[in-house]
Homo-oligomer: A and B are copies of this chain.
């Protein structure tokens, strides 16, 4: 049950020129949010951007005591640039929480899971990490980026999961191991790590590689996927991906969190 409401900008925290956290008043979306949910945000009344933009709800938290939704955003174009510039107090139309969240209710405290993040894909894993920690479920983080600046929210992850459970990889080796996040994960599996499920969010190449790894290791996965979206709630049919059963499935409604085994990676 999603809500279409107007939420105020509470704070914008910039990490570097390309990354920031946007905090909006939680409204009635906050209490309804589960890890993996996303929201559609209208970046102002103008015509550019025209459509709302989709963002994972990175966390439900507070700003100076006020209940807040946190979004972690990477600037890639007009909408993500516009969202970075709103003054505190500006009301923004927000639709959420949307989509199918990560499956976590079937986990038990003895379970151990993996969180795999690539670049801005960290966003939905923040609230997931906090929720799992609260439920006493052990989780290993594998987090990769082009360089150090791509690695965001490190303190939070290490607080939630324990720093010994957080491993990083960067293309240039500026933080953690030089290479891809999937190398980290392969290495862990080779080292005998076993997981009840792997939760992942990142760019398509990461998803492809990870989907193969999980299939080979016969591990379950849940990927928070992306696609261009016009509506966010299943009516424009614009956000589809090809599924193994031959259908096109809407990422906004049947996803964003889907089992990689259901996706037809060859046609994507």
Residues of chain A having any CB pair with chain B under 8 Å = 46-48, 87
Contacts and interface: CB of A to CB of B under 8 A. Distances in A.
A16 to B, nearest CB: 22
Main DSSP-derived SS at the A contact region: loop
A224 to B, nearest CB: 31
Stoichiometry, as copies per complex, reads: 2
Contacts of A87: 87
Instruction: Among A46, A47, A48, A87, find the residue whose CB has the most chain B CB atoms closer than 10 A.
Output: A46
Contacts of A46: 46-48
A18 B193 CA distance: 67
Contacts of A47: 46-48
A88 to B, nearest CB: 12
Closest 3 A-B residue pairs measured CB to CB? Answer: A47-B47, A46-B46, A47-B48
A140 to B, nearest CB: 45
Nearest to A87: B87
Nearest to A45: B48
A75 to B, nearest CB: 15
A46 B82 CA distance: 10
A87 B87 CA distance: 10
6 contacts: A46-B46, A46-B47, A46-B48, A47-B47, A47-B48, A87-B87
